[in-house]
């Protein structure tokens, strides 16, 4: 059995032609899956019996099952718990940014790339379960079709992708890059609307630069000093800040692209005035934007969300030092929107 979601549209047609069917049958199949979001072969009404039998015996479509779906009160954040073929579970989140002008609506999908995560950032619910396994490219790609199937009721579809769900994308680099390429081609989402977020895996950052891949690079920074970052992002002990920033400068020299730095904002830990000064010194000369993220409250966690006035004071200080800084619009806090929280509840 060949996974449909592991193939480009051209490869799908080639395999169908090689099996003795006309190319238009492949185009019909692609239309059903990618345009109509229909995944049951028996429901594809314009396919003949012989072609349906071929598909049933040779092509594997969706093999991820939605076992739980939670929406926030506004219907802007939709969280899915998905069951994989081996009975493991992952999460994905749709974030809808709705505008009065519907043509400007943005539907972002936060994808998972691993079952669990071995980086084990202490503020992240995913890391508490450790790493179980990497996702295959087709398991990553399927998440987009499941999201589009949900959005069909609104006559909408995913138009932005962020690899910011469960897992460290660059610890599953080959499958992630293959999935990103398939998403770009098969769902017609441009590279500049696909973001890959890393905790700071230098080899992945350099490969993105060397291959001149046009995806947005986001780095989970979270602290301007090794002392604090060693605790918040344990991988920092392997890839300390001086090495990480050197890799960022290399990436920027090669690609000329702006980098996004994600900065989790934690009360009494990393938003002191001196943190703003050190952050400006650390990132001096790098074309970047800092995305301030109020920490999510995870059950039993020591990390507390700062007061709004403290977050905006930190933002103001960073801007006075010349940094571009925004505070992320919060979505999904009423449904435990942070990665790993829903999965952990179900596992318990």
Kindly list the catalytic residues.
91, 339
318 touches 324 (CB < 8 A): no
Q: Cα separation of 261 and 251, whole Å?
A: 14
Asked whether the beta carbons of 122 and 184 are under 8 A apart, the reply is: no
Residue 244, classified by CB atoms within 10 Å of its CB into exposed (0-12), middle (13-18) or buried (19+), is buried
* Three-state DSSP state, 77: strand
What 3-state DSSP class applies to 133? strand
Query: Which value, to the nearest 10 degrees, does the dihedral of the CA atoms of residues 304, 309, 312, 317 take?
Result: -100
* Separation CA 168–CA 118 (nearest Å): 8
Closest CA to 108 of 336, 329, 257, 342: 329
d(CA 346, CA 87): 13
Contacts of residue 102, Cβ cutoff 8 Å, sequence gap at least 6? none
**Neighbouring residues of 86: CB distance < 8 A, sequence distance ≥ 6:** none
CA distance 112 to 135: 8
Q: How far apart are CA 143 and CA 135, in angstroms?
A: 11
81 CB-near residues (< 8 Å, 6+ apart): 66, 67, 68, 69, 89, 90, 91, 342, 343, 346
Q: Helix-strand-coil percent breakdown of the chain, rounded to 5?
A: 45, 20, 35
């Amino acid at each position: 059995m060949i996974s449909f979601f592991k193939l480009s549209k051209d490869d799908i047609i080639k395999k169908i032609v090689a099996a003795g069917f006309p190319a238009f049958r492949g185009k019909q199949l692609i239309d059903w899956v990618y345009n109509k979001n229909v995944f049951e072969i028996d429901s594809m009404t314009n396919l003949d019996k012989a072609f349906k039998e071929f598909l049933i015996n040779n092509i594997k479509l969706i093999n991820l099952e939605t076992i739980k779906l939670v929406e926030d009160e506004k219907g802007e954040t939709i969280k899915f718990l998905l069951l994989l073929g081996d009975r493991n579970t992952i999460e994905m989140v749709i974030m809808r940014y709705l505008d009065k002008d519907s043509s400007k609506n943005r539907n972002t999908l936060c994808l998972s790339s691993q079952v669990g995560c071995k980086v084990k950032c202490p503020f992240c619910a995913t890391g508490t379960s450790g790493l179980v396994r990497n996702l295959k490219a087709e398991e990553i790609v399927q998440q987009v079709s499941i999201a589009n199937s949900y959005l069909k009721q609104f006559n909408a579809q995913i138009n932005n992708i962020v690899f910011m769900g469960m897992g460290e994308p660059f610890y599953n680099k080959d499958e992630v890059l293959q999935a990103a390429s398939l998403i770009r081609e098969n769902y017609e989402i441009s590279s500049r609307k696909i973001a890959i977020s890393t905790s700071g895996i230098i080899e992945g950052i350099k490969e993105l630069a060397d291959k001149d891949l046009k995806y947005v690079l986001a780095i989970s920074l979270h602290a301007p000093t090794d002392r604090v970052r060693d605790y918040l992002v344990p991988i920092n002990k392997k890839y300390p800040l001086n090495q990480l920033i050197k890799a960022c400068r290399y990436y920027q020299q090669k690609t000329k692209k702006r980098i996004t730095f994600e900065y989790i904002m934690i009360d009494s830990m990393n938003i002191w005035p001196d943190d703003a000064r050190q952050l400006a010194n650390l990132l001096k000369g790098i074309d970047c934007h800092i995305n301030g993220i109020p920490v999510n409250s995870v059950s039993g966690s020591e990390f507390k969300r700062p007061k709004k006035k403290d977050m905006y004071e930190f933002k103001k200080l960073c801007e006075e030092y010349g940094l571009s800084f925004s505070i992320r619009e919060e979505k999904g806090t009423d449904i435990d929107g942070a990665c790993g929280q829903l999965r952990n509840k179900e596992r318990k």
